[in-house]
């Protein structure tokens, strides 16, 4: 490809992506809402928009006009990319859990802690003149 052809293709790509900018924002926002809460603290919708826009550029390079409209092709490509992204972080949420074998738990200490908690609830109820029904909303 000549330099002129590359420049023309880049302008066509920019124009096509600017036409679907709203779609990219919608898909990014919906994907962001599906992320786990702890991931949302450090990933913004703008990050997902950037992912969607990069995927749209890749889709434009693979798209041929005789197979349909670019918006349809980009919709599927961006949707797949963002679904994969959300799926990855949702799976990370499940992998971060720590499992503890029951044999490791010191049940005597557990029972002592439970007894202390029950005593604290009883003392709280006595100081506040509440009945069990009021505490548990019955």
With tokens 């992204």, the residue in question is 85
- Using alpha carbons, select from 5, 1, 47, 9 the residue that is nearest to residue 28: 47
pTM equals 0.63
Residues 126 and 124: their CA atoms lie apart, in Å, by: 5
Position with higher pLDDT, 51 vs 100: 51
Instruction: Give the integer Cα–Cα distance in Å for 120 and 124.
Output: 6
Distance CA(80)–CA(95), nearest Å, equals 22
pLDDT digits (tens, 9 = 90+) for 64-120: 889 899 999 999 999 999 999 998 888 765 555 555 565 655 666 666 666 666 666
Residue with tokens 């604290």: 120
State the pLDDT at residue 48. 94
Candidate CATH numbers 1.20.120.1630, 1.10.1740.10, 3.50.50.60, 1.10.10.10; the one for domain 3-95: 1.10.1740.10
Residue 90's closest CA among 40, 47, 138, 124? 40
């Amino acid at each position: 490809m000549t330099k002129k052809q590359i420049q023309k293709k880049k302008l066509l790509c920019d124009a096509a992506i600017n036409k679907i900018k709203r779609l990219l924002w919608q898909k990014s926002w919906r994907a962001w809402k599906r992320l786990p809460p702890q991931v949302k603290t450090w990933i913004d919708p703008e990050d997902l928009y950037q992912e969607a826009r990069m995927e749209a550029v890749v889709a434009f390079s693979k798209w041929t006009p005789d197979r349909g409209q670019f918006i349809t092709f980009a919709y599927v490509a961006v949707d797949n990319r963002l679904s994969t992204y959300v799926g990855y972080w949702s799976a990370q949420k499940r992998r971060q859990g720590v499992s503890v074998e029951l044999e490791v738990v010191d049940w005597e200490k557990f029972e002592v802690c439970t007894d202390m908690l029950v005593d604290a609830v009883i003392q709280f109820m006595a100081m506040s003149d509440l009945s069990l029904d009021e505490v548990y909303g019955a």
